[in-house]
């Protein structure tokens, strides 16, 4: 598997990252989860919630079937991608944020796992969810699924991305943002530590 790493520190990253993901089918995860994927040899559908779930995954069309959720940006227009990002911001999911308390900045360590073209034929397309009679959650136009677990050998490339936003604690706005981030992550209690 080819591996590429890229860091975005206090810069606008959206256009450059989207350029790297365009016309690809990929799974997005954290760097920590990627370590487990490499150790296990599979990307699991996580139907049994073996790995932590974000709030939107509980009723996910794919996860409820034991399928791996993927993003399919092949041939998608800017509008379709933007609509997908409005449903699930896969460029920097908020629940993947980690807080570096000693250096006062939030960061995201993400890994985008590109599915090899040879397995595109096995994908369940987005219309499979829209034609389903059971109520389930899915991302219109850009989400697809691999039915079952994906062997790590089916992944042609891992794109390891680090996004870091430094807080300037001399700035009142940044200081308050940092305090709110700490409270959001339950590191401080605004009622008692405030």
Q: How far apart are CA 68 and CA 151, in angstroms?
A: 11
pTM of the model: 0.82
**Residue 160, exposed/middle/buried by CB under 10 A (0-12, 13-18, 19+)?**
middle
CA-atom Rg of the chain in angstroms: 18
Structure tokens at 66: 């034991």
Provide the sign of the torsion angle of the four alpha carbons 154, 125, 129, 132, taken in this order. Answer: negative
Q: How far apart are CA 120 and CA 72, in angstroms?
A: 10
Confidence bin at 186 (pLDDT 50/70/90): low
Strands 2-9 and 155-164: parallel
Q: How far apart are CA 75 and CA 27, in angstroms?
A: 17
Give per-residue pLDDT as tens, 28-54.
999 999 999 999 999 998 767 666 666
């Amino acid at each position: 598997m080819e591996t590429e790493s890229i860091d975005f520190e206090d810069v606008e990253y959206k256009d450059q990252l989207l350029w790297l993901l365009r016309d690809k089918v990929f799974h997005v995860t954290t760097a920590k989860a990627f370590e487990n994927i490499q150790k296990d040899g599979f990307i699991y559908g996580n139907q049994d919630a073996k790995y932590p779930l974000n709030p939107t995954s509980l009723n996910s069309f794919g996860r409820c079937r034991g399928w791996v959720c993927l993003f399919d940006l092949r041939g998608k227009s800017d509008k379709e991608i933007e609509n997908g990002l409005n449903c699930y911001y896969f460029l920097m999911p908020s629940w993947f944020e980690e807080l570096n308390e000693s250096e006062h900045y939030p960061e995201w360590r993400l890994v985008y796992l590109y599915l090899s073209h040879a397995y595109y034929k096995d994908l369940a397309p987005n219309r499979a969810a829209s034609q389903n009679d059971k109520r389930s959650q899915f991302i219109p136009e850009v989400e697809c699924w691999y039915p079952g677990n994906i062997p790590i050998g089916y992944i042609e490339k891992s794109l390891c991305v680090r996004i870091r936003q430094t807080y300037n604690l001399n700035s009142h706005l940044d200081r308050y943002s940092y305090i709110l981030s700490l409270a959001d992550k339950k590191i401080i209690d605004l009622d008692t530590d405030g």
